[in-house]
């Protein structure tokens, strides 16, 4: 019987500590540095650097050294969280060229899975809601762009090549190749303007 060749599925991008083990800490950081316009002073780059350092500590086999490095990472993580307003725990599984576009109000769930070439801007939140469970969190594909104010809630999946406009609240899966946006605001007259206009009408 003739066998038909099946179409291979694209390989999942390496994330988190698996990426660090495979590609090397400094190689990954150099990509992040270029992604952040080679500006070491950008809060976004510093936040991602601290996150990468945290994932690297999970690859250290010598326990005393690992504990010492984790302690250093914790203080750096607290600084980034409290000063820059960017919360990236080392348990996040992020891919290559992870970009934080602007600082302030950014919270990424501790078990979020993030693909390659993802951009997050200010006031973006990835959460799980009230149904917290170990190891569960949002899964984000590759080449996804988050505009300011986006909220992702639940153990949901956002596909590849998705653009998300400002202030979207996402609570269900999003297929690949989509653009999401909220309806434009309505312009309504002020109440005092309406009353004044009504009083000017002839009897």
Q: Which residues pair with 86 in a beta bridge?
A: 106
Mean pLDDT over the full length of the chain: 92
Specify the pTM. Answer: 0.86
What is the percent of the chain where pLDDT is above 70?
89
What is the percent of the chain where pLDDT is above 90?
81
| 3-state DSSP assignment of residue 140 | strand
Token digits of residue 102: 């602007």
Q: Which H, E and C letters describe 148-187, residue by residue?
A: CCCEEECCCEECCCCEECCCCEECCCECCCCEECCCCCCC
pLDDT tens column, 116-158 = 999 999 999 999 988 778 899 999 999 999 999 999 999 999 9
pLDDT at 52 over 50: yes
Q: CATH says 16-180 is which class?
A: mainly beta
pLDDT at 30 over 50: yes
pLDDT tens column, 162-200 = 999 999 999 999 999 999 999 888 899 988 655 565 555
- Residue at token pair 């002020």: 190
The residues spanned by each domain of the chain are 16-180
């Amino acid at each position: 019987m003739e066998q038909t060749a099946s179409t291979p599925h694209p390989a999942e991008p390496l994330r988190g500590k698996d990426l660090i083990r495979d590609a090397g800490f400094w190689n990954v950081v150099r990509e992040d540095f270029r992604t952040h316009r080679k500006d070491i002073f950008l809060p976004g780059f510093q936040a991602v650097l601290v996150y990468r350092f945290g994932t690297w500590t999970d690859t250290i086999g010598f326990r005393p050294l690992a504990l010492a490095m984790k302690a250093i990472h914790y203080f750096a993580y607290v600084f980034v969280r409290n000063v820059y307003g960017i919360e990236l725990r080392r348990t996040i599984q992020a891919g290559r060229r992870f970009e934080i576009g602007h600082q302030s109000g950014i919270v990424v769930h501790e078990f979020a899975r993030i693909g390659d070439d993802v951009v997050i801007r200010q006031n973006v939140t990835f959460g799980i809601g009230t149904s917290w469970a170990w190891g569960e969190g949002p899964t984000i594909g590759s080449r996804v762009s988050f505009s300011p104010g986006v909220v992702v809630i639940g153990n949901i999946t956002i596909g590849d090549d998705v653009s998300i406009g400002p202030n979207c609240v996402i609570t269900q899966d999003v297929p690949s190749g989509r653009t999401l946006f909220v309806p434009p605001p309505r312009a309504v007259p002020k109440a005092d303007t309406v009353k004044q206009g009504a009083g000017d009408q002839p009897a």
